[in-house]
Amino acid sequence: MDTGQSGVVEGDGTVWDPRLVSMMPNHASDDLATWLAQEVQPMVDDRIERSIRDRRYQDRLRYQVGTGGKRLRPGLVLLVGELCGCDQQPLLDSAVGVELIHTFSLIHDDLVDGDRHRRDDPAFWVEYGTAEAINVGDMLLAHALTLIPDEGTTLAAEAVREMTVGQQVDFALADRRDITEAEYLDMVEKKTGALFDLCVELPQTLTDTDLDIDGYSALWPAFQIRDDLLDFEAGKGRKTIGNDVRAGKHTLMVIHADDERVYDILDKPAEQTTAEDVDTVQEIFEETGSFDYARHRMHTLVDEALAALETLPDSPQRHRLIALGRYCTDRDH
């Protein structure tokens, strides 16, 4: 295919065709998941593999990257970068950098949440132990910051700091029974939203742009609400459902149900929480309409996010951002 654009020449002299959205045939297609899986994922994974060549890390990295994942964040970086007219090389480095930050965050997150599975496979800490989970996670974060172009490094470090604040709040909320929806949303804005915000902001630091899609960030809490709902479905890839219940996590359903029986179960140590306890929580969420409420909030947030794209001129990237918004909540994993 003659794309009319040249590929990116890598450090080792190979020419890399990034196959960004505007270079793809049929780019009006709404099949976001296919684009992520067939275009973004191979490109990002290959680049991760080639950018971390230290043999002491390679099999660990292959393990974690090979467990799957949607590659939503690099996809978002590429879409926004194309809207801003970014150069390909710094854009690709940014896309790979955010995925590595995400990878580091998942390795550490499973450790702190006590989750033994991720994407249907043993979590990194289960496979390689806690010492390696901490160390490899640290390496990935540091490597990501070296990969991200200088103009965006401080922004990226700030996003990671914000994410860790969100994680602190996530731990702290587990001990309380009086959490408000506003507190939940604030926590999510940090633990999940900070990295997604970086995906939107990073390309904007790489070029002069008057792009204004700030309202699109209403999508991040919708994404996390879907994640909380997925904890009750097999798609979360954890072999069992109700891992957030075992870990005592306060989700939007917990806040909406506001039921002492739920809090009592959440307060139990994870190893004492039974499958019946998880069923009980699920039944209470059904009875109190808390699943319905969470789904409703999720959809209103998506509508809000997509409204922020209305003023954008029509383009393949705009179509894909709309599709990405829907995919965040329609996804089954």
Query: Residues interacting with Mg ion, by CB under 5 A?
Result: 109, 113, 227
Nearest to 203 by CA among 61, 288, 81: 81
Residue 24 is classified by DSSP as S
Is residue 127 exposed (0-12), middle (13-18) or buried (19+ Cβ within 10 Å)?
middle
Residue nearest to ligand IPE (CB): 69
Q: How far is the CB of 47 from ligand IPE (least distance, A)?
A: 16
Q: What angle do CA 51, 95, 165 make, to 5 degrees?
A: 105
Amino acid at 158: E
Of the ranges 33-41, 103-111, 200-208, 290-298, which one interacts with ligand IPE (CB under 6 A)?
A: 103-111
121 interacts with ligand IPE by CB under 6 A: no
Report the relative pairing of strands 8-9 and 15-16 from DSSP bridges.
antiparallel
How many other C-beta atoms are found inside a 10 Å radius of the C-beta of residue 229? Answer: 20
224 is a site residue for ligand IPE (CB under 6 A): yes
CB nearer to Mg ion: give 47 or 118.
118
- Shortest spacing between CB 321 and Mg ion, in angstroms: 24
Contacts of 129 (CB under 8 A, 6+ apart): none
Tokens of 34: 């296919």
Q: How far is the CB of 93 from Mg ion (least distance, A)?
A: 27
Residue 69 binding: pick among Mg ion, ligand IPE, none (C-beta 5-8 Å cut-off by kind): ligand IPE
Q: Which is nearer to ligand IPE, 9 or 174 (CB)?
A: 174
Contacted entry of ligand IPE, Mg ion, none for residue 94, CB cut-off 5 to 8 Å set by kind:
none
Q: Which does 70 bind (CB under 5 to 8 A by kind): ligand IPE, Mg ion, none?
A: ligand IPE
Binds ligand IPE by CB under 6 A, chosen from 101, 163, 199, 262: 163
User: Is 329 near ligand IPE (CB under 6 A)?
Assistant: no
To Mg ion, the closest distance from the beta carbon of 292 in angstroms equals 19
Whole-number Cα distances in Å, 83 to 98, 208, 291: 18, 11, 36
Helix (H) or strand (E) holding 121: strand 121-122
Interface contacts to ligand IPE, rule CB under 6 A: 69-70, 72, 105-106, 109, 113, 115, 119, 163, 167, 191-192, 224, 227
